[in-house]
Amino acid sequence: MIAMKAEEGYSHIRIRVESTAQARQFDYARSRLMPMVWMNIFRNTAQHAGPEPEVLVSISYEEDSFYITVVDNGPGISDEDAEWLFVRGTREERDFRGMGLYLARTIIESHGGTIELLDKVGCKIGIRLPIQLEM
């Protein structure tokens, strides 16, 4: 649903979501804030991955957690930019961009999860969200 909304808002982006059968048994949306995580990640891809961005989201269940990878076909991330990827703002204080992935990290961490850059080539992000069975 969120991927479809992102494709509507950014008509040049294509998003494919795959999940294991085991992962589909759980509601991993978590809270009203989780859609903001996905929209911020998709927006970032739409803005930085070139003229025809493609995203693959893979969701699996591993050791009482969801493990989600988000891979795009963009040009990648420089070593310098990788340092600032999940930090509030950008290197230049006068530039007010750079809040999306910071907010995504904050929301994920508030749910006991983690987010990290796995590969700078084409940008690959890994997200781990523990499953809360009381959902």
- Judged against a pLDDT cut of 50, whether residue 96 lies above it is answered with no
pTM reported for the whole predicted model: 0.82
Whole-number pLDDT of residue 27: 65
DSSP three-state, residue 42: helix
Would residue 115 count as lying in a domain?
yes
- Judged against a pLDDT cut of 60, whether residue 103 lies above it is answered with yes
Would residue 25 count as lying in a domain?
yes
Least confident of 6-10, 29-33, 39-43, 117-121: 29-33
Count H helices, E strands: the chain? 4, 5
Element (H, E) at 59: strand 54-62
- Judged against a pLDDT cut of 60, whether residue 2 lies above it is answered with yes
Domain count along the chain = 1
- Judged against a pLDDT cut of 90, whether residue 121 lies above it is answered with no
Would residue 8 count as lying in a domain?
yes
Backbone angles phi, psi at 124, to 5 degrees: -130, 120
| % of the chain residues with pLDDT over 70 | 85
CATH code of the domain in which 113 resides: 3.30.565.10
Model confidence band, residue 109 (pLDDT cutoffs 50, 70, 90): very high
d(CA 11, CA 117): 26
Whole-number pLDDT of residue 94: 45
For residue 16, give its domain range.
Answer: 2-130
Would residue 135 count as lying in a domain?
no
d(CA 133, CA 135): 5
Can you list the alpha helix ranges (DSSP code H) found in the chain? 2-9, 34-48, 79-83, 100-110
Would residue 35 count as lying in a domain?
yes
pLDDT tens-digit readout, 25-82: 776 555 788 888 888 888 888 888 888 889 999 989 888 888 999 999 988 888 887 8
